[in-house]
Homo-oligomer: A and B are copies of this chain.
Amino acid sequence: MNKIKFVALSLFGASSLFAADALMDAATKAGLKPIPSEHKAQMKLIKEFQKGITVEKAELGKKLYFEPRLSKSGIISCNTCHNLATGGVDGVSAAIGHQWTANPHHLNSPTVYNSVFNTTQFWDGRSPHLGDQAKGPMQAMPEMAITPKMAEDRISSMPEYVAEFKKAFPKDKNPVTFENIADAIATFEATLVTPSKFDKFLSGDAKALNKEEKEGLKVFIDKGCATCHTGHNIGGTSKQKFPLIGEYKHANLGDFKGDKDGTVKVPTLRNITQTAPYMHNGAIWSLEETVKTMGENQLGTKLSDAEIAKIVTFLKTLEGKKPSIEYPMLPNSTAKTPKPESK
């Protein structure tokens, strides 16, 4: 597939290297897909991934996303590790959670932005969608460390939340369930989509990328990066053996060996300029070094410094516009609200 793309692009010849239409076509053939820039279309696309979005559910989900009382300690929310202010990540090598415990496998927090487009969640890809994913970190001991019952007890102790759950889940008799908490959070997360100038380009605006950025895209496709980092999320839809070739230099950081078959989720590259450190174990802080490592371990190619620089120039075009988020004001605790437990 990589070779086919290379041949296709070679047809442009040197003089037509930046013929945008041909490059757009090559990018599309490489499986790269834009986030539709029009709100309606975007919502339609999101709905294909995530059924049942309503404003009520997304608004409730926003509150729950920022809700520290969904952690045992009362001070950790989804936003602690997937901080919407900093590219949807925490910016540390391995996630730190309840009682300051680092992720036991030394796994790095992936970005929540555009995660609705991922068809595989978690580094070992064990979850197919966001609603299922959200239940993991809430319960994990080194993360939010809450039990489903404790989460339900906390939320149902606040009448304001109960009323909102009734609106968001009108068919449910007892809507405050752990399942619905996760579903509402996932619904909010489905709105966290960040179209960038690369989407404009893919959608037909030839001038959206400049000469250098187009050159970077060409190298990105030619070298085979788009073989795995493809689709709407430029990744997020498959698992691959890692390392495929040679030895991963930083394999000794943590004990993560991938899924049972040794495969690891291909992460999105959207907003990659904001989500350092990189790799599943957050071992590499430099984007250039990461590209180099991926070349060696996945493509079996020693990329030159110039090629790396070009690819990074392209990757910068994936930094997208974040949705405007009004910081939510959360319901008051009541006398019935179970107390936080920091131990």
Contacts and interface: CB of A to CB of B under 8 A. Distances in A.
A69 B91 contact: yes
A75 interface: yes
A299 interface: no
A333 B68 contact: no
Interface in A313-343: 322, 324-330, 332-333, 335, 339-340, 342
A233 interface: no
25 contacts: A68-B85, A68-B86, A68-B91, A69-B91, A73-B92, A74-B90, A75-B90, A75-B91, A75-B92, A85-B328, A85-B329, A87-B332, A92-B342, A96-B342, A99-B100, A100-B100, A100-B342, A102-B342, A273-B332, A276-B333, A285-B335, A285-B339, A286-B335, A322-B329, A325-B326
A264 interface: no
Contacts of A340: 91-92
Nearest to A330: B85
Interface of A: 66-69, 73-75, 80-81, 83-87, 90-92, 96, 99-100, 102, 273-274, 276, 285-286, 322, 324-330, 332-333, 335, 339-340, 342
A99 B98 CA distance: 10
Contact of A92 (B74, B81, B92): B74
Nearest to A339: B285
A83 B68 contact: yes
Contacts of A327: 84-85, 325-327
Contacts of A74: 90-92
A318 B86 CA distance: 34
A86 B330 contact: yes
A91 B333 contact: yes
Contacts of A87: 332
Contacts of A328: 85
A324 B327 CA distance: 7
A282 to B, nearest CB: 11
A324 B324 CA distance: 12
Contacts of A66: 85
A106 B283 CA distance: 37
Among all A-B residue pairs, the 9 with the closest Cβ atoms:
A100-B100, A325-B327, A85-B330, A327-B327, A92-B340, A99-B100, A86-B330, A274-B332, A322-B329
Among A87, A286, A332, A339, max chain B CB count under 10 A is at A332
Contact of A326 (B73, B96, B324): B324
Given A84-B327, A273-B332, 4 more contacts: A73-B92, A74-B92, A84-B329, A274-B332
